[in-house]
Amino acid sequence: HVRVGLLTGGGDVPGLNAAIRAVVKRGEGEHGHSIIGFRNGWRGLAEGDVMPLGRQQIRNVLPIGGTLLGTARYHPHSSDGGMDAVLATLEAERIEALIVVGGDGTLHAASKVAEAGIGIVAIPKTIDNDVWGTDRSIGFDTAVTIATEAVDRIHTTAESHNRVMIVEVMGRHAGWIAATSGIAGGAELVLAPEQPFDIDKIVKFLRHRHRAHASFSIIVVAEGAVPAEGTAMQYETQLGRFGEIIAGSISERLKVEIAERTGFDTRVTVLGHIQRGGTPTPTDRILGSRFGVAAIDAITRGETGVMTALRGDDIVLVPLAEIAGKVKQVPTELLDVAQALA
């Protein structure tokens, strides 16, 4: 019998509730552990914001998006007194092991807390799919499904109006959603952070296509896509107080450049948080469930300091120390497929 703490950190994704449910069902129901939830990610753990987690709380949550525990972008290791507060809560609540579900930031925090001697098992989630060490993270499949449907819908209106349609998808450091929804939706161009783009080539390509083949084009661009060094873009990005883009997002800059240089009617659609909302796909429910079971089983065996991961068809455990600070980028092969089918 182990007292296991559980939190979800960073941006929410569809499929988190499947993981929570699996931890509770397997942990409490089969192993006889107590599962103690912390509200709103690491912040709740620092503040001792405890939430009871049992059969009652996980009833009917499988098809529901978001996280029943709540989440926050808060990292104890980079907040004043954060680490001490986390360790104090863990002691006060007599937590013997911790399961954290999160992306880059949460995993980094997990490795810091693990260094302080706490037994941690992490579960990867991010719609960006850029967590190193796992083929897939919870939330990615749902985001791709939503983005593909959006590209399909954009298609008909693009064709009717003879327009260039720019669809901006999420992905700050990696273009997984852009590459996959671009391939699945048949976009003419996919722009990802992995391959800085040349606006001159894009303009040339569009002119040629609209002269020779079709009078509309769809460009799927990841929010983190960047122009190649030495290529000229007229409009710069303006960053706000927190480093967020407040003007001149990459899609807006592309729109101005393309419209001014080609004369083509050009529009932007930013999918934004729609990609993170709503009901998870079966694939994400299954992945969340598998990761949840693997995490609580690892704790039961006394195996901690690891992250659950999907490798091919298998669930494996990867040492946390190997993951922190790395980004899993889209392989060139996938980007090539996207470009080859333009």
Q: Please, what is the minimum distance in Å from the beta carbon of residue 237 to ligand F6P?
A: 14
**Assigned token pair, 46:** 């620092």
Establish whether 95 is an annotated binding residue: no
Q: Which residues are 38's β-sheet partners?
A: 50
Q: Please, what is the minimum distance in Å from the beta carbon of residue 232 to ligand F6P?
A: 26
Establish whether 172 is an annotated binding residue: yes
Establish whether 54 is an annotated binding residue: no
DSSP state for residue 331 in the 8-state scheme: P
Establish whether 73 is an annotated binding residue: yes
Other C-beta atoms within 10 Å of 316: how many?
14
C-beta closer to ligand F6P: residue 26 or 276: 276
Establish whether 126 is an annotated binding residue: yes
C-beta closer to ligand F6P: residue 126 or 289: 126
Q: Please, what is the minimum distance in Å from the beta carbon of residue 65 to ligand F6P?
A: 13
Candidates 118, 121, 146, 130; CA nearest to 11 is: 130
Q: Which residue is nearest to ligand F6P (CB)?
A: 170
Residue 283 CB partners (closer than 8 Å, separation 6+): 141, 142
Establish whether 128 is an annotated binding residue: yes
In which order are the strands placed within the sheet that holds 120-124?
50-52, 34-38, 3-8, 97-102, 120-124, 306-311, 314-319
Residue 81 CB partners (closer than 8 Å, separation 6+): none
Tell me which residues touch ligand F6P (CB under 6 A): 11, 73, 103, 126-128, 170-172, 223, 276
Q: Please, what is the minimum distance in Å from the beta carbon of residue 72 to ligand F6P?
A: 10
- Strand-pair category, 164-169 with 189-191: unpaired
C-beta closer to ligand F6P: residue 144 or 170: 170
C-beta closer to ligand F6P: residue 41 or 119: 41
Q: Please, what is the minimum distance in Å from the beta carbon of residue 223 to ligand F6P?
A: 6
Q: Residue 265 burial (CB < 10 Å; 0-12/13-18/19+)?
A: middle
| Residue 128 known to be catalytic | yes
C-beta closer to ligand F6P: residue 268 or 296: 268
Query: Catalytic residue among 12, 128, 141, 284, which?
Result: 128
Candidates 126, 64, 130; CA nearest to 325 is: 130
List the binding residues for ATP.
11, 73-74, 103-106
Instruction: Give me the active site residues, please.
Output: 128
